[in-house]
Amino acid sequence: MSDQVLPSTLISNFDEQYYLKLPQIFYKSAKTYLDNKEIKKIQKAYTFAFYSHDGQQRRDGSKYITHPVEVAQILLDLRMDPDTICAALMHDVLEDCDVNKNNLVKLFGEDVAEIVDGVSKLGKLDINARIDADANNLQKMMLAMSKDVRVVLVKICDRLHNMRTIEHLPRSKQIKKSKETIDLYGPLALRIGMQDIRSELEDLAFRCIHPLRASMLESAIKKSSGGRKRIVTKIRKELKKHLKANNIQKVSVKGREKNIYSIYRKIKSKHKPFSEILDVYGFRILVDSIDDCYRALGIIHNYFSPIENRFKDYIAIPKSNGYQALHTSLLALNAFPIEVQIQTRSMSEIASFGIAAHWQYKTKDSDDNSELRATRWLSGLVDLQKKTRSPKEFAQSVKTDLDSNEVFLFSPKGDVYALRRGSTPIDFAYEVHTDLGDSIVGCKVNRSEVPLNIELETGQTVEVITSNTKSDVDPSWLNYVVTSKARSAIRSKLRKQKTSDARKAGKIMLETELKRGGKSLKEYRGGALKKILDSIGVTSLNKLLTDLGLGKRTGSIIAERFYSGLQIREGIEEPKPVLIVDNKIESVTVRFAKCCLPVHGDRVVAHSDTERGMVIHHKKCKQVAPFIKKDARYMPAIWGENKNDHVYKVNIDVNTKDKVGVLSDLGSVFARSGINIGSVNTKTIDKKFAGFKIEIEVEDKQELRAIMQKVRAQKFTTSCKRNINEK
Ligand code: MN
- How many A from CA of 158 to the centre of ligand 1? 5
What DSSP element (H or E) covers 483? none
Cα of first residue to Cα of last residue in the chain, in angstroms, is 79
Three-state DSSP class for residue 705: helix
**What percent of the chain shows pLDDT beyond 70?**
80
Q: How far is the CA of 363 from the centre of ligand 1 (A)?
A: 29
- Identify the burial level of 311 via C-beta atoms within 10 angstroms of its C-beta, where 0-12 means exposed, 13-18 middle and 19 or more buried: middle
Q: What is the Cα–Cα distance from 646 to 700, expressed in whole angstroms?
A: 9
What are the respective helix, strand and coil percentages of the chain, to the nearest 5? 50, 15, 35
Contact between 589 and 583 under an 8 Å Cβ cutoff? The reply is yes
Least confident of 105-114, 192-201, 222-231, 322-331: 222-231
Q: How far apart are CA 159 and CA 208, in angstroms?
A: 14
On whether the CB atoms of residues 305 and 331 are closer than 8 A, the answer is yes
pTM: 0.57
Kindly give the distance from the C-alpha atom of residue 447 to the centroid of ligand 1, in angstroms, as a whole number. 28
Q: Where are the alpha helices (DSSP H) in 246-361?
A: 260-270, 274-278, 290-303, 345-353, 355-359
- Residue predicted with more confidence, 160 or 679: 160
- Among the listed residues 69, 65, 116, the one whose alpha carbon sits nearest the alpha carbon of residue 94: 116
Active site residue 95: yes
Helices 541-549 and 526-536: angle between axes, nearest 10 degrees: 50
- Cα–Cα distance measured from residue 274 to residue 78, given in angstroms and rounded to the nearest whole number: 34
370 pLDDT above the threshold of 60: no
CA of 349 to the centre of ligand 1 (A): 27
CA of 330 to the centre of ligand 1 (A): 45
Asked if residue 198 has pLDDT above 70, the reply is: yes
Rounded Cα distance between 512 and 491, Å, is 19
- The per-residue pLDDT for range 434-445, each reduced to its tens digit, is 889 989 989 998
Q: Is the pLDDT of residue 46 over 90?
A: yes
Give yes or no for a contact between 227 and 286, defined as CB atoms under 8 angstroms apart: no
Residue 727 three-state SS: coil
Write down the pLDDT at residue 672. Answer: 80
Per-residue CA distances from 53 to 39, 64, 532 (Å): 21, 6, 71
Long-range own/partner contacts, residues 57-63 (CB < 8 A, 24 or more apart): 58/165, 58/168, 59/168, 59/169, 60/165, 60/168
Contact 258, 275 (CB under 8 A): no
Go through the domains of the chain in sequence order and give each one's CATH number. Answer: 7-211 (1.10.3210.10), 220-353 (3.30.460.10), 371-491 (3.10.20.30), 521-639 (no CATH), 648-722 (3.30.70.260)
Share of residues in the chain with pLDDT > 90 (%): 17
Instruction: Determine the distance separating the centroid of ligand 1 and the alpha carbon of 50, expressed in angstroms.
Output: 14
Decide if 511 is catalytic. Answer: no
CA of 359 to the centre of ligand 1 (A): 22
Nearest to 641 by CA among 583, 576, 559: 583
How confident is the prediction for the chain on average, in pLDDT?
79
Q: Mean per-residue pLDDT for 391-407?
A: 47
CA of 136 to the centre of ligand 1 (A): 23
Residue type, 348: S
Q: Ligand 1: distance of its center to the CA of 67 in Å? A: 7
- The active-site residue, picked from 77, 96, 167, 449, is 96
Ligand 1 centre from 202 Cα, in Å? Answer: 18
Of the residues 35, 60, 77, 95, only one is catalytic, namely 95
Ligand 1 centre to CA of 90 (Å) is: 9
The model's confidence at residue 373, banded by pLDDT at 50, 70 and 90, is: very low
Q: In this structure, are residues 441 and 470 in contact, taking their beta carbons and an 8 Å threshold?
A: yes
